[in-house]
Structure 1
Amino acid sequence: MRQQNSPLDRLLRPKSIAVIGGGVWCEQVIEQNRKFGFSGEIWAVHPTRSEIAGIPAFSSLADLPHAPDAAFVGINRQATIEIVRDLAAKGAGGAICFASGFREASAELADGGDLQSALVEAAGSMAILGPNCYGLLNATANVALWPDQHGLVPVKRGVAIVSQSSNIAINLTMQARGLPIAAVVTVGNQAQTGLSRIGAALVEDEAVTAIGFYIEGLDDLQAFEVFAAKAKAAGKPVVALKIGRSAQAQAATISHTASLAGNSAGASALFSRLGIAEVRSLPVLLEALKIAHVVGKLPNTNIASLSCSGGEANLMADTAIGHSVSFPALSEPQKAGLRSVLGPKVALANPLDYHTYIWGNVDAMAETFAHLASGDASLALVILDFPRSDRCNSSEWAKVIAAVEAAKNKAGKPFGILSSLPETMPETIAQDLMARGIVPLTCLDDALAAIETLGAPPGEHSAPLHIAPSPENLRTLNEAEAKALLKTFGVRIPQSRAVPSASEAARAASDIGFPVVLKGTGIAHKTEAGAVALNLPDPVSVEKAALTMPPAGILVEEMITGTIAELLVGVVRDPAHGFVLTLAAGGVLTELLQDSVSLLVPSSRDTVHAALLSLKLSKLLTGYRGQPACDLEAILDTIEAVQACVMERPIEELEINPLLCGADFAIAADALIRCGGQDDG
């Protein structure tokens, strides 16, 4: 790697390495550096052994010629702390902390958290990776601070992969897809130096073309925002696979919002906002990184697809169902150009089955491919499965490669060759395609998923995320309190009155005006509990319904008529990703439809508007089949008020469900708020 004065330069690109410990892991570090061609100094450190893996051992750090640029610390957890302290005092550039038994094991080891804090204190300003991690591989500097085998080879440039899981990182190094990997860094517990800081250092490296993350939990939300902005400014795509996404959000239980946000909405909303491509599997991560390495971020998800088989063309079209990709229709100039090459027998379409009439004719194939790529597609794909090299001759397939390369140069558009099976894209061919600037992709579904995420429109990143600690003395406001608080921020609520008895409910209803709604107070999900009575027309029906309500109290409320649609508007504080704003179909349809979208607070009015229109329910909001439309401006005003409330008050969770939406109103019919005990509205 070529770092530009990064504070992690010595750790990521060391000229001297100290290997501390005598176990098989330390022996492997020495062996892997030899195998990788590391040209710097390697020093073994062990108090009793004279040599480790064939090199003389120093008895202590004090005996080393000078402070090492990087150290692999492969000793037990207690001894690790003292060695890290000594390395920092000596002026080392950084250390890999291999030992486990720190915060990741705090459920099993009572001192795990304390030891991790002690480790961070011992390191001071010296960078450490881990604990509980394998370390790093730098394929542009032949560095292997790594205690195991790996699959990397030296490269001049490529993608970088940062992983919290060392085993996943090992597996990714074994890929045979032709992806050039410049660096692999594992961060373990992220005790001090985590994903954000490593990512920021890798962005500065001119040899790194894109960054892939395997994430279990973010280290620092604000630092991750800074990293993402830095990557965007550098034009380096970031692809993330996150597992166990935001499980903390599931701890909130009072509202539908928490279950809708679930364990993934916060992470997905964050990645979208920061312009990070999110994937859901390791194969798609690798396919996306291949596109990112060759092409970069795609401007859209428009594809031109070519194959010499109707079966492949149909399979491509069918596989695209469920993916947010499109095949732009052919323009008249495209059709004319294709007809001049293919003749009258070929049906012209995208995806295109160009048949086998021109198979083997490099010029004709190149002209065909260039014509199809000349439209609105951001990426042209030629479906091509290569025969087995041990049983077949692939010389005719080489002509297709030559045609694709010529078409790429002629059309000025990026091209990929896509095999329908991983087995039919040999690694040697994938590497050759990479060298030609052609993306070698495998498996139609994985490739389309990669295109879908890399061509997604950039998210909003204009305002910093709202980040706040969990408020103390949490309590749940009753409905009247919650609505009163929302009203102070401009949310429109129905006329209502809380009463203690059935007789007083009838009097309150008469004052408000019929028809009315009766609700039992102190119940989170009133409809499911049978604690809601709607459209009560007179005092008798009110008193009768009130007698069936729970004893905690009764809320008498005006009945809103003219409702066109019901929305859920909710916010949950997610410790991992900020405050998650969820918009969904509301009322009794919330769980039934599962029609929701999540953003992060704050989100702009335009972003919220676009999110609302992405809901299936949006057809009702905008006027379905001649029906009146909802007052979208009133809905947007309400959502802005909700965001303001969350940003100004110590809110843990807030939900309006339903927000009744009509032609000239948006009214919060029900509300729940969980907040700090000092905030009573």
Structure 2
Amino acid sequence: MTRDLSRLIRPKSIAVVGGGTWCAEVIRQTEKIGFDGAIWPVHSKSSDVAGHKAYPSIDALPAPPDATFIGINRRATIPVVQELAAAGAGGAVCFASGFSEAIAEDASGNDLQADLVAAAGDMPILGPNCYGLINALDGAAIWPDQHGCARVESGVAILTQSSNIAINLTNQQRGVPIAYVATCGNMAQLNQADIASAVLDDPRVTALGLHIEGFTNLRAWEALAAKAHAKGIPVVVLKVGASAEAQAATVSHTASLAGSDAGAAALITRLGFARVHDLPVFLETLKLLHLSGPLSAPTIASISCSGGEASLMADTALNSGLTFPPLRDEQRTQLADALGPMVALANPLDYHTYIWRDAEAMAKAWSAMMTKDIGLTLSVVDYPPENRADWDCATDAAIKAHKTTGRPITVVASLPELLPPDVTQTLIDGGVVPMHGLREAIIAAAATTEITSPETTPLALAPAEPSKRPQLLTEHEAKTALAAHGLDTPRSVSVTDTGTLTEAAKSLTPPLVLKGQGIAHKTEAGAVKLHLSAADLPAAAADMPTDRFLIEEMINDGLAELLVGITRDPAHGFVLTIAAGGTLTEVLSDSVSLLIPASHETIRDALSSLKIAPLLTGYRGAPPANITAILQAIDALQAYVLANLDSLQEAEINPLICTPTRAVAADALIRKDMS
């Protein structure tokens, strides 16, 4: 169900139910931010709350309120929500705790949360267990505590499940104009994607920042990604926590490689969002997106008056995905004209201090660096606490260079505290991005290059309930099942009688491989023997801890070995892991995770990102692997999983032996519900 949140997030009237300190603070904050609509306290025993006439009940209000803050206990909250819904109110913030988040202490919490959702019906509710929302564009703060928001004409929207983090973010001193803040609490009815979608309907929102503890309703996230892309609104995600479900499967190498966060990372990438990992970078990325937008290319230029700062900038950008293009001849000419003969010209540029205080010459030099192929130019300036007048030239030069070239530039302080609020605002007014910290600036700039168009094919979703009776198929059973979907496997024979091994192998071409069946990690158990003839098989089988065997023809012309596995992750769908395969999978730690269904283009990009990618494309004169065959093998695995969504726990090919002509599954594992 799609609910209309417009009245809740852009209210003309606000009701406040309750008479405690929290409710009085909501009224104070609403007045403080300049709300010009009606404020209606609701209190059964008081005639006045915080200087406003109080009404004894919901039905006594002059009209159904657009937004309501419910600041009473959890059990009393439910009938009030029901009254508001029946009256046609626009929505409510449910402040009380003690619902599903408290189930460990009170088993009735889940039932109360279900009752709350039922009482709300079609009326949107935030929470429970949340502070609410702030609209700094129109001046509405349905918010029971202090905050740092001020009225803005446009800005970024920030959504978080944590009320305390929301307070901290609103009090930032980095010059980020915040248009909306919303806390989601338990998300009993509305999840973050629903709220974010409503916020994006406001054309004054320039970027969206999401602090996410966990994803729910993946279809809503897909819809949000499509909407944000269509509107040209970039999205930044700070994902914390880990999905325990993603670690449920522990039999395969895939599970240990994927870990708890692989599904979330793959989902964020698939949605076309940028991901960051801490609050300072989160804010700096949002600020860069608001003032300048994503980098047009992953290229940067750096300007500083110190060789130490130039080196520090170069080192900070190392492995970030950003590069420093070398200067072209025309740039060298322009820089030499502005800086004179004593400056070594390079990118990063140490311009020394010969032109310090000459804002015109500085701007000329900056402009020479800000060519169309540069995604962002960074001028490193730390402003001292005293005698700052001598540093005005750096501010003026950056602003003039931006106006001259029309290209994005940031003034970045190597120490965040050395970029004062007044300078920050001056730079913003001049179209220059002020950034606090070299590391923060580099990571934020790199993050914006991750913003892409979302995948349009819907995710394959895992069932809500986990499999009750997962069982491990034998390698022969797994390969047979996967071969039915097009997987290339070695010619083989399954044997259950050691006395018939030699006879059974006569149809196969040596060298042969003998494998014991019914063992998860066969190599560690000594249940794999290579380079055998038919006559060698009985002796090789004697040492194996099983009486079931698989005899296969060896694949001798392999160029590289891959692991390709898919694990069930109820939080994010099904995680496809592609990695360096064979016995050194964990040692090499060379893997990438996607969500299925994954396209050939996405899989090709994943393959090229692996450290062993050169082995696939022809290394030191060796022929290249057959990439088409590799894609077909991965297609076969995906096809099997898509046909078994309700029962599959995990499926893995390791190794997938990549040859010049084939991609052959030398081993395979499937764990699924056999009921």
| TM-score with structure 1 setting the length | 0.96
Q: Is the contact made by 2:152 and 2:179 (CA closer than 8 Å) also made in structure 1?
A: yes
- Identify the residue that residue 467 of structure 1 maps to in structure 2: 461
Shift in Å, 1:375: 4.9
- Identify the residue that residue 180 of structure 1 maps to in structure 2: 177
Q: Is the contact made by 1:299 and 1:457 (CA closer than 8 Å) also made in structure 2?
A: no
Match for 1:592 among 587, 590, 594?
587
Residues 431-450 of structure 1: per-residue CA shift (max 9 Å, x gap): 22122211111111111111
1:608 paired with 2:603, answer yes
Shift in Å, 1:556: 1.7
Q: How does 1:34-113 map to 2 (within 5 A)?
A: 34-113=31-110
Q: Is the contact made by 2:126 and 2:190 (CA closer than 8 Å) also made in structure 1?
A: yes
- Identify the residue that residue 213 of structure 1 maps to in structure 2: 210
Q: Is the contact made by 2:462 and 2:569 (CA closer than 8 Å) also made in structure 1?
A: no
Distance in 2 between the 1:623 and 1:326 partners?
Answer: 26
Q: How does 1:103-142 map to 2 (within 5 A)?
A: 103-142=100-139
- Identify the residue that residue 452 of structure 1 maps to in structure 2: 446
Three-state SS of the structure 2 residue aligned to 1:526 is: coil
Deviation larger for 512-521 or 84-93: 512-521
- Identify the residue that residue 631 of structure 2 maps to in structure 1: 636
Shift in Å, 1:308: 1.0
Q: Is the contact made by 1:501 and 1:546 (CA closer than 8 Å) also made in structure 2?
A: no
Distance in 2 between the 1:322 and 1:228 partners?
Answer: 28
Structure 2 letter corresponding to 1:500: T
Structure 1 letter corresponding to 2:397: A
| TM-score with structure 2 setting the length | 0.96
Distance in 2 between the 1:222 and 1:436 partners?
Answer: 41
Q: Is the contact made by 2:155 and 2:177 (CA closer than 8 Å) also made in structure 1?
A: yes
Three-state SS of the structure 1 residue aligned to 2:402 is: helix
Residues 616-659 of structure 1: per-residue CA shift (max 9 Å, x gap): 01111111111222111111111122122222223332110110
Distance in 1 between the 2:7 and 2:410 partners?
Answer: 37
Q: How does 1:515-530 map to 2 (within 5 A)?
A: 515-530=511-526
- Identify the residue that residue 620 of structure 1 maps to in structure 2: 615
Three-state SS of the structure 2 residue aligned to 1:441 is: strand
Change (3 A) 1:172 1:552: farther
- Identify the residue that residue 533 of structure 1 maps to in structure 2: 529
Distance in 1 between the 2:143 and 2:523 partners?
Answer: 58
The RMSD of aligned alpha carbons is: 1.7
Change (3 A) 1:294 1:288: same
Shift in Å, 1:505: 2.6
Q: Is the contact made by 1:574 and 1:580 (CA closer than 8 Å) also made in structure 2?
A: yes
Shift in Å, 1:47: 2.2
- Identify the residue that residue 479 of structure 1 maps to in structure 2: 475
Shift in Å, 1:147: 0.9
- Identify the residue that residue 356 of structure 1 maps to in structure 2: 353
Distance in 2 between the 1:502 and 1:460 partners?
Answer: 54
Distance in 2 between the 1:647 and 1:239 partners?
Answer: 30
Match for 2:302 among 305, 308, 326?
305
Distance in 2 between the 1:20 and 1:185 partners?
Answer: 19
1:499 paired with 2:495, answer yes
Match for 2:326 among 321, 326, 329?
329
Change (3 A) 1:522 1:105: farther
Q: Is the contact made by 1:460 and 1:603 (CA closer than 8 Å) also made in structure 2?
A: no
Distance in 2 between the 1:85 and 1:530 partners?
Answer: 66
Q: Is the contact made by 2:229 and 2:453 (CA closer than 8 Å) also made in structure 1?
A: no
Shift in Å, 1:552: 5.4
Match for 1:559 among 554, 563, 587?
554
- Identify the residue that residue 398 of structure 1 maps to in structure 2: 392
Deviation larger for 34-43 or 354-363: 34-43
1:385 paired with 2:382, answer yes
Shift in Å, 1:107: 2.9
Structure 1 letter corresponding to 2:150: V
Identity among equivalent pairs (%): 53
Q: Is the contact made by 1:417 and 1:440 (CA closer than 8 Å) also made in structure 2?
A: yes
Shift in Å, 1:472: 6.4
* Unaligned 5+ runs, structure 1: none
1:645 paired with 2:640, answer yes
- Identify the residue that residue 509 of structure 1 maps to in structure 2: 505
Deviation larger for 53-62 or 312-321: 53-62
Residues 191-211 of structure 1: per-residue CA shift (max 9 Å, x gap): 111211111111111221101
Q: Is the contact made by 2:235 and 2:451 (CA closer than 8 Å) also made in structure 1?
A: no
Three-state SS of the structure 1 residue aligned to 2:11 is: coil
Shift in Å, 1:457: 6.2
Q: Is the contact made by 1:422 and 1:442 (CA closer than 8 Å) also made in structure 2?
A: yes
Deviation larger for 52-61 or 330-339: 52-61
1:275 paired with 2:275, answer no
Three-state SS of the structure 1 residue aligned to 2:513 is: strand
Structure 2 letter corresponding to 1:238: V
Residues 450-500 of structure 1: per-residue CA shift (max 9 Å, x gap): 111101362651322222415665333221111011101110011122222
Match for 1:424 among 406, 411, 418?
418
Q: How does 1:206-245 map to 2 (within 5 A)?
A: 206-245=203-242
* Unaligned 5+ runs, structure 2: none
Q: How does 1:26-37 map to 2 (within 5 A)?
A: 26-37=23-34
Residues 183-238 of structure 1: per-residue CA shift (max 9 Å, x gap): 10001111111211111111111221101000011232111111111111111110
Three-state SS of the structure 1 residue aligned to 2:582 is: coil
Shift in Å, 1:156: 1.2
Shift in Å, 1:297: 2.0
Structure 1 letter corresponding to 2:612: L
Q: Is the contact made by 1:520 and 1:554 (CA closer than 8 Å) also made in structure 2?
A: yes
Q: Is the contact made by 1:272 and 1:459 (CA closer than 8 Å) also made in structure 2?
A: no
Match for 1:577 among 554, 564, 572?
572
Structure 2 letter corresponding to 1:365: M
Q: Paired residues, what number?
A: 670
Three-state SS of the structure 2 residue aligned to 1:58 is: coil
Q: Is the contact made by 2:225 and 2:454 (CA closer than 8 Å) also made in structure 1?
A: no
Distance in 2 between the 1:510 and 1:140 partners?
Answer: 80
Three-state SS of the structure 1 residue aligned to 2:86 is: helix
Residues 96-154 of structure 1: per-residue CA shift (max 9 Å, x gap): 01111212222332122222111111101100000111100111121111111111111
1:343 paired with 2:337, answer no
Structure 1 letter corresponding to 2:502: A
Distance in 1 between the 2:199 and 2:100 partners?
Answer: 26
Q: Is the contact made by 1:101 and 1:132 (CA closer than 8 Å) also made in structure 2?
A: yes
- Identify the residue that residue 188 of structure 2 maps to in structure 1: 191
